Chains A and B, each alone.
Chain A
Amino acid sequence: MRKRFDRQSFLGPNSTEILERCHVAIIGLGGGGSQVVQELAHIGVGHFSLFDADHVEDSNLNRLVGATNVLAVSHASKTAIATQLIRGVNPSASVVAIPKTWQESADSLRDCDVIFGCVDSFAARQQIEVSARRYMTPYIDIGMDVHDLGDQFAISGQVILSMPGELCMKCMGFLRDDLLAREAENYGAAGSRPQVIWPNGVLASLAVGIFIQLVTPWHKQRRRVWYLEYDGNSQTVVTSNRLEHLKGTICKHFSSLEDLGDPFWSVEKSIQSQ
């Protein structure tokens, strides 16, 4: 098993053990999430909590890594596919598959070291970030979109690290009240949005790169805030220029003691759960 990681030993003397002990949550196991799962399994992450309430369909086969025609016909759950993907690479990995929305099993996020969000909506991102901040957990968000510009389509995407104590996605201008309100108005009317595999692959790899810099000691330049913008037409990735304007800004959205810990803390519950 150790030989497997020889070629990534530059990540640090204890990187294999660090990754083996690491517990990640991946919320959303579609085009982006399935690629994140695959990469984390290959680099040797030892503990996974997987969240997705959906089942695979034929229309997912253009992008969902691990999905096959047979699995689509049998409507396998996306968590089952991701579990199979992980176990195929690392049979000893601990995998908790939660075939529900993450909110139905939100407690499962508390023990995680890092949360990956691979979800479609701004509202879902906001809710995950609130929960991640509450338990002081770094949150890595990825997302892509295809825009109809009339005479052509534009592919764009983003990867954001929302680090506790640092700028949040609202500070960065990625989550805005007007976007959240517009999305809420159109709830249920969005239909299926265009999605393709290769931008998801780029974004998932960038997200895993940020994760590796976060948990292993290989890189001397330690960045605490990431906001990468992907242009799928020009095939470029740049750091959002918003970060330049936000230098020195302190997050005011999650700065209170009230934003931390269980809102309805009860010591009895904690003792009973032993």
Chain B
Amino acid sequence: MKVVFKIMDTLLDEVRRDLIRPHEFAAERVGFLVCRPARLNGGGIVILAHDYSPVDDPDYVDDPSVGAMMGPRAIRKALEFALNNQSGMFHVHMHEHFGRPRFSRVDIRESARFVPDFWNVRSEMPHGAVVLSNDSACGSCWVPGVSIPIAISEVRVVGSPMVSIRVQP
């Protein structure tokens, strides 16, 4: 299944600006992109990012073994938001380098642990995880009814200029 992720350049800039802010003890920051899905005409889905919800400073857990660890309050807030707003939630963090980023093993393990929890509140919505670099992005999408996460094949940055990041051919 083809999954396209669409985001405005202004929103993407806002997310990057937020994610590179230093935190008291976490090595990196995380947040959630609030999304709505739509069907693509040629088959597949497009995820449309609407807003960004950063994880609040006190909602991180001090765990030096990982870059950033969300506490239960951060997850609960995101779950509540999804429930009340009928939205898909995409966890987002950033690797500060140029070129295509990749999920680390910890990213993959942790995403697989908490992303499907969003189906407990919004079973009809796709949810997922996105990792940004300074100039690129990649992501995975958990689509209801599909057992394994699907790699986002293209990130379209809507702005001036329009940018298409093709993650998969």
Residues of A within 8 A of B (CB): 21, 107-111, 113-114, 134-138, 163-165, 213-217, 222-224, 257, 260-262, 265-271, 273-274
- B57 contacts the other chain (Cβ, under 8 Å)? no
Further 10 A-B residue pairs, CB within 8 A, beyond A261-B38, A270-B44: A113-B162, A138-B158, A163-B160, A222-B160, A224-B160, A257-B36, A257-B85, A261-B37, A265-B38, A271-B1
Minimum CB–CB distance for A20 against chain B, Å: 12
Q: How far is the CA of A158 from the CA of B50 in the complex (A)?
A: 29
- B59 contacts the other chain (Cβ, under 8 Å)? no
Interface residues of B in 1-49 (CB under 8 A from A): 1, 6, 8, 10-11, 34-46, 48
Contact of A135 among B8, B42, B48 (CB under 8 A): B48
Give the tally of cross-chain contacts (CB within 8 A): 102
List chain A residues, Cβ under 8 A from B6.
135-136
Indicate if the CB atoms of B44 and A260 lie closer than 8 Å: no
Minimum CB–CB distance for B158 against chain A, Å: 5
- B149 contacts the other chain (Cβ, under 8 Å)? no
Indicate if the CB atoms of A215 and B162 lie closer than 8 Å: yes
Given contacts A257-B36, A261-B48, A262-B38, A267 and B160 within 8 Å (CB-CB): no
Q: How far is the CA of A163 from the CA of B37 in the complex (A)?
A: 19
Size category of the B interface is 35 or more
Indicate if the CB atoms of A134 and B38 lie closer than 8 Å: yes
- B96 contacts the other chain (Cβ, under 8 Å)? no
Q: Mark B41-80, 1 if CB is under 8 A from A, else 0.
A: 1111110101100000000000000000000000000000
Minimum CB–CB distance for A258 against chain B, Å: 8
For A213, the closest partner residue in chain B by CB is: B160
- B169 contacts the other chain (Cβ, under 8 Å)? no
Interface residues of B in 131-148 (CB under 8 A from A): 143-146
Indicate if the CB atoms of A260 and B41 lie closer than 8 Å: no
Indicate if the CB atoms of A265 and B162 lie closer than 8 Å: no
Indicate if the CB atoms of B87 and A267 lie closer than 8 Å: no
Indicate if the CB atoms of A216 and B85 lie closer than 8 Å: no
Contact of B145 among A213, A222, A271 (CB under 8 A): A271
Which 9 pairs show the lowest CB-CB distances between chains A and B?
A: A261-B36, A222-B160, A260-B36, A262-B38, A261-B38, A267-B144, A107-B41, A165-B8, A110-B41
List chain B residues, Cβ under 8 A from A273.
39, 43-44
Most chain B C-beta atoms within 10 Å of own C-beta, residue among A21, A137, A217, A265: A265
Indicate if the CB atoms of B48 and A274 lie closer than 8 Å: no
Q: How far is the CA of A268 from the CA of B39 in the complex (A)?
A: 10
Q: How far is the CA of A214 from the CA of B161 in the complex (A)?
A: 5
For A96, the closest partner residue in chain B by CB is: B41
List chain B residues, Cβ under 8 A from A260.
36, 48, 50
Q: How far is the CA of A164 from the CA of B6 in the complex (A)?
A: 11
